[in-house]
Chains A and B, each alone.
Chain A
Amino acid sequence: MNLFFQQIINGLTLGSIYGLVALGLTLVYGILHIPNFAHGALYMVGAFMSYFFMTDLGVHYWIAMAGSAAVVAVLAILCERLVFHPLRNSPPIHDKIAAIGVLLFLEAVVQMFWGSDFRRLSSPFTGIMNFDGLIIPEQRLLIIVGAFTLVIALQLFLRKTMTGATIIAMAQSREGAFLVGIDANRVAMMTFAISGVLAAVAASLYAPINLVYPAMGHLVIMKAFVIIILGGMGSIPGAIAGGMIIGFAEAFGGFYISTAYKDIIAFGLLVLILSVRPQGLFAKGAH
């Protein structure tokens, strides 16, 4: 029973991380129609920034996370301004290649400063919480709670603030948004910034129970793409739900079936679903 419960916690943990990363990705794709292959690199930089702030600057975990989020947000905005904005009218293939260029660059820079070794990020939450026999490691609980808090905060931001409303307007109808005078550039930068923050926080939350290394974003980003294809481009609930599905599938599949091949689960699902429905699970209308 306890083992089963552990897998549920694992599933929730993984699902929270995947959901956060997928959320950032789906926002950028849904609103700007850019598949940001560099999103995994943003995630990785987020982890390294937290590592840097904590180990090299000796700062507390929370502050390191906030600092990391700020840095990655700025980085994301730079990507948008310098790379994707000039390419907005080019054929879609250029977007993708440019994103790959950014990805390669960021990984190389990080590798230059920190090498390709694995590093550990320590967090103050190393304890274990015991709820009447049910054991939950503190960090995992933090991840789950943190992820849900962020998602709720994001939803509130999008629905209750003016800025959030402009983002939703752009997502629903670009022309309509222009007609009412919404500044597309501001929305683009904000969307990227938000996606950066989500990635950085997810990485910083996950790093203590995982390893930090330059290629850490590869797997996560691919799974995030799988999730947003399954959950629907631009759909926030889809990203969360999809994240949870993959998270649980991996936790249970990895434990009960095979640990070596657990990464394939997400892709196997993708292959299966796209073979049957090439437009993804939740395709809207004609496009």
Chain B
Amino acid sequence: MLFKLGSLLMKPGAKMALLAFAMVFPFLAANEYQVYVMASAFVWAIAVYGLNIITGYCGQLNLAHGGFFAIGAYTLGLLTADAGWSFWPAFVAALVMTAVLGFFVGIVSLRLKEHYFAIFTLCVGFIIYLLIDKWEELTHGPIGVRDIAAPSGFGLVDFTQTTPFYYLVLAFLVFSIWFVGRLSRSLLGRTFIAIRNGDELAQSLGINLMRNKVLAFVLSTTYAGLAGALYAGMVRFIGPEEANINHTFDMITYLLVGGIGTLTGPLLGTVSIVWITQSLQFLEEYRMIIFGPLLVILVIFFPRGITGQYLTWMHQKAQSLAPGKKQKASKVQTASAREAENNA
């Protein structure tokens, strides 16, 4: 069923249909809670799009992503609850904060190769958690931050209500996806992918590793901060738990299931898992018992996730046209490959 969903997404015009569906969803939903769930799925999807930039396209496994999500949430939370700022200025501040911190963490950590980078970011994520938990004068420690402002509305639009907030998040999601789409098809995105294919080859092609890796990293942390700030405005009460490494692991799972390094992957993975977890509420305690082996199985058998599997399947279908017709096959392939690549 997920597979069919994935294949539907690839067809041209599917994007419009999907957007239309998303826009009428609040009216189709059974109750307000479902709208809330979808809105939170969208928030996490935005964060996962960010993760996709550094880990999917650029190939560096960033285990501090959840930490930056928390920094975005806390920046917004503390500025509105403690310093009395209104939502939107605090929102911008959250973006700036995560971008700047991302820059400094990036220039130190991205000189590290492969495993060291993952380990380093794991530690950075933990340091963020520790600081949020212990630095009580600033962050309120384990008590958390309450009474965070919701996005300031305008006219009749009140963002403390679920449905208007849903549309707000949807707008940000659409923008996020649009931007990542533009990025991945551009020369810049191709540069990131070249780095993923191999540092040495990328350098030999004249690509400055540090500049590009740091850029990818900062983009990804800004996405995380954006999502975190939206999250804070949505739940209005946050605690050190937001910086827990489990959120990073969750996001990695969403990304892997959907399809790492693809355009539809983050959305597909996040929405499907959030909804599956919702419908299987009674299995909530066993969540990780399922997620754990799921990750392992995915990585061994389906490393490219739903989207990847679909592309592989389509590709094999094109290939299986009789060998004598290789010329024709390559033409068919060209068209479908280009289409698939553009949409994926």
Q: Which residues of A contact B (CB under 8 A)?
A: 29, 35, 37, 82-83, 86-87, 90-94, 96-98, 100-109, 111-112, 218-219, 222, 225-226, 229, 260-261, 263-264, 267, 270-271, 274-275, 278, 280
- Distance A149 CA – B295 CA, assembled complex (angstroms): 38
Contact among B122, B285, B292, B303 for A102, CB-based, below 8 A: B292
Is there contact, CB below 8 Å, between A100 and B249? yes
Is there contact, CB below 8 Å, between B300 and A280? no
Q: Which residues of B contact A (CB under 8 A)?
A: 55, 59, 61, 108-109, 111-116, 118-120, 122-124, 126-127, 130, 134, 245, 249, 252, 256, 285-289, 291-296, 299-300, 303
Which chain B residue has the least Cβ–Cβ distance from A272?
A: B108
Question: In whole Å, how far is A67's beta carbon from the nearest beta carbon of chain B?
Answer: 24
Question: In whole Å, how far is B290's beta carbon from the nearest beta carbon of chain A?
Answer: 8
Is there contact, CB below 8 Å, between A278 and B292? no
- Distance A62 CA – B288 CA, assembled complex (angstroms): 32
Is there contact, CB below 8 Å, between A101 and B294? yes
Is there contact, CB below 8 Å, between A105 and B116? no
Given A94-B303, A97-B252, A101-B299 in contact, is the A108-B108 Cβ separation under 8 Å?
no
Question: In whole Å, how far is A112's beta carbon from the nearest beta carbon of chain B?
Answer: 7
Is there contact, CB below 8 Å, between B295 and A97? yes
Q: Beyond the given A97-B299, A278-B112, could you list 13 further A-B residue pairs with CB under 8 A, ordered by the A residue number?
A: A29-B115, A82-B296, A83-B300, A93-B55, A93-B61, A97-B61, A105-B289, A108-B287, A225-B122, A264-B130, A271-B123, A274-B108, A274-B111
- Can you list 11 contacts pairing A with B, beta carbon distance less than 8 Å? A29-B115, A35-B119, A93-B55, A219-B126, A222-B126, A261-B130, A264-B127, A271-B108, A274-B112, A275-B108, A278-B116
Question: In whole Å, how far is B275's beta carbon from the nearest beta carbon of chain A?
Answer: 20
Given A35-B119, A92-B115, A93-B61 in contact, is the A108-B288 Cβ separation under 8 Å?
yes
For B252, what are the chain A residues with a Cβ–Cβ distance below 8 Å?
97, 100
Is there contact, CB below 8 Å, between A261 and B134? yes
Question: In whole Å, how far is B127's beta carbon from the nearest beta carbon of chain A?
Answer: 5
Top 7 A-B pairs, shortest CB-CB distance: A105-B292, A101-B295, A108-B288, A104-B292, A101-B296, A108-B289, A278-B111
- Distance A104 CA – B296 CA, assembled complex (angstroms): 10
Contact among A98, A105, A111 for B299, CB-based, below 8 A: A98
Question: In whole Å, how far is A124's beta carbon from the nearest beta carbon of chain B?
Answer: 34
Is there contact, CB below 8 Å, between B291 and A101? yes
For B286, what are the chain A residues with a Cβ–Cβ distance below 8 Å?
108, 112
Which chain A residue has the least Cβ–Cβ distance from B303?
A: A94
- Distance A275 CA – B124 CA, assembled complex (angstroms): 13
Q: Total A-B residue pairs with C-beta atoms closer than 8 Å?
A: 112
Contact among B108, B122, B289 for A222, CB-based, below 8 A: B122
Is there contact, CB below 8 Å, between B300 and A104? no
- Distance A82 CA – B286 CA, assembled complex (angstroms): 21
- Distance A108 CA – B291 CA, assembled complex (angstroms): 9
For B130, what are the chain A residues with a Cβ–Cβ distance below 8 Å?
261, 263-264
- Distance A111 CA – B291 CA, assembled complex (angstroms): 14
Is there contact, CB below 8 Å, between B288 and A104? yes
For A35, what are the chain B residues with a Cβ–Cβ distance below 8 Å?
115, 118-119
Which of B55, B111, B123, B293: most chain A CB closer than 10 A?
B123
- Distance A278 CA – B134 CA, assembled complex (angstroms): 29
For A92, what are the chain B residues with a Cβ–Cβ distance below 8 Å?
114-115
Is there contact, CB below 8 Å, between A267 and B59? no
Is there contact, CB below 8 Å, between B126 and A270? no
Contact among A104, A111, A112 for B295, CB-based, below 8 A: A104
Which chain A residue has the least Cβ–Cβ distance from B134?
A: A260
Which of B115, B126, B249, B293: most chain A CB closer than 10 A?
B115
Question: In whole Å, how far is B309's beta carbon from the nearest beta carbon of chain A?
Answer: 16
Question: In whole Å, how far is A70's beta carbon from the nearest beta carbon of chain B?
Answer: 23
- Distance A270 CA – B249 CA, assembled complex (angstroms): 22
Which chain B residue has the least Cβ–Cβ distance from A83?
A: B296
- Distance A93 CA – B118 CA, assembled complex (angstroms): 9
Is there contact, CB below 8 Å, between A270 and B120? yes
Is there contact, CB below 8 Å, between B289 and A274? no
Is there contact, CB below 8 Å, between A108 and B292? yes
Contact among B124, B245, B294, B299 for A87, CB-based, below 8 A: B299
Is there contact, CB below 8 Å, between B119 and A225? yes
- Distance A1 CA – B115 CA, assembled complex (angstroms): 43
- Distance A43 CA – B61 CA, assembled complex (angstroms): 24
Question: In whole Å, how far is A94's beta carbon from the nearest beta carbon of chain B?
Answer: 5
Given A112-B286, A225-B123, A261-B130 in contact, is the A101-B303 Cβ separation under 8 Å?
no
- Distance A271 CA – B285 CA, assembled complex (angstroms): 36
For A260, what are the chain B residues with a Cβ–Cβ distance below 8 Å?
134
